[in-house]
């Protein structure tokens, strides 16, 4: 793939969405604006993960506005954050895959900052929050979770739960993801780190949530995540014992 300009790059952008009807119009407007100006060959996908608000109706109106450039994948029932991400990765058709959440806490116009760090040897570029704009208890839980997961899995990136990532699709095709909860962030990052590709990190802004509430910071979700973390750790230990995925990433 040529590195002589963005015109040669193809990119798929997707958003997992659960009850994110209020934030989607602005999010997609910003996304198409940055893609049209800097990434001519693009597609945008929204995964409606069993939303119970007006997400389906909002997406229908947005699809009429944007036409075939916007693809919608609907889960009739909620499959969890991991299930939504797996659907997005499977649906992506282009060379590069970028995703962030549908709640509008990240700004898609910062995507070019990730792209600038992408070299032929770089497999993925991970954002990290310059400052987390959440209630204090979410900040505390997030810090504990991030440190615990990094220690348990030997993850090197500084911000596991910053879902603002640019990944080569060929890299995604060589890993298998199984998580259905927020654990998928740990599974994804760890398996990407084990791929042998170089990794880059870029600071991005994080904004207060304007609508709805996080599905991750609920007792049931946290318990599911802890159970899946333990199961994932066992799976990775088993794979390592069999000599699988023994490569290590290179950080820039």
Q: What is the CATH number of the domain that holds 103?
A: 3.90.550.10
Average pLDDT score over residue span 142-155: 80
Question: Which helix (H) or strand (E) covers residue 85, if one does?
Answer: helix 80-91
Give a yes or no: residue 64 inside a domain. yes
- Does 1 fall in a domain? no
pTM for this entry: 0.84
Answer yes or no: is 202 within a domain: yes
Residue 212 placed within a domain: yes
Rounded Cα gap, residues 157 and 143, in angstroms: 13
Three-class SS of residue 32? helix
What distance in Å separates the CA atoms of residue 70 and residue 62, rounded to the nearest whole number? Answer: 8
As a whole number, mean pLDDT of residues 173-179 equals 89
Domain assignment present for 94: yes
pLDDT in tens, 84-130: 999 999 999 999 999 999 999 999 999 999 999 999 999 999 999 99
The pLDDT value given to residue 56? 97
**Mean pLDDT on 237-245:** 62
Distances (CA, A) of 145 to 161, 184, 202, 207, 230: 9, 13, 20, 20, 13
Over the stretch 33-63, which tens digit does the pLDDT of each residue have? Answer: 999 999 989 999 999 999 999 999 999 999 9
Question: Comparing C-alpha atoms, which of 205, 123, 131, 137 is closest to residue 168?
Answer: 123
Total structural domains within the chain: 1
Range of the domain at 110: 6-251
Percentage of the chain exceeding pLDDT 70? 84
The answer to whether residue 37 is domain-embedded is yes
Q: Is the pLDDT of residue 141 over 90?
A: no
Contact 163/185 with Cβ under 8 angstroms?
A: yes
Q: Determine, yes or no, domain membership for 19.
A: yes
- Give the pLDDT score at 44: 98
Whether the Cβ atoms of residue 178 and residue 89 lie closer than 8 Å to each other: no
């Amino acid at each position: 793939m040529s590195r002589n300009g963005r015109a040669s790059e193809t990119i798929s952008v997707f958003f997992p969405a659960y009850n994110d009807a209020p934030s989607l119009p602005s999010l997609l407007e910003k996304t198409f604006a940055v893609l049209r100006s800097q990434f001519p060959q693009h597609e945008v996908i929204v995964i409606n993960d069993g939303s119970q608000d007006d997400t389906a109706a909002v997406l229908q109106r947005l699809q009429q506005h944007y036409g075939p450039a916007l693809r919608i994948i609907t889960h009739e029932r909620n499959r969890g954050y991991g299930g939504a991400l797996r659907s997005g990765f499977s649906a992506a058709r282009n060379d590069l895959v970028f995703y962030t959440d549908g709640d509008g806490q990240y700004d898609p116009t910062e995507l070019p900052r990730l792209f600038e760090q992408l070299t032929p040897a770089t497999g993925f570029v991970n954002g990290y929050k310059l400052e987390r704009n959440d209630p204090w208890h979410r900040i505390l839980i997030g810090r504990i979770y991030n440190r615990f997961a990094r220690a348990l899995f030997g993850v090197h990136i500084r911000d596991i739960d910053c879902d603002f990532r640019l990944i080569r699709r060929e890299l995604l095709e060589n890993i298998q993801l199984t998580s259905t909860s927020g654990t998928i962030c740990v599974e994804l990052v760890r398996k990407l780190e084990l791929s042998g590709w170089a990794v880059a990190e870029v600071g991005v802004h994080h904004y207060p949530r304007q609508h709805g509430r996080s599905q991750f910071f609920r007792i049931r979700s946290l318990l599911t995540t802890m159970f899946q973390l333990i199961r994932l750790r066992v799976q990775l230990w088993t794979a390592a014992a069999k000599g699988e995925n023994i490569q290590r990433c290179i950080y820039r």
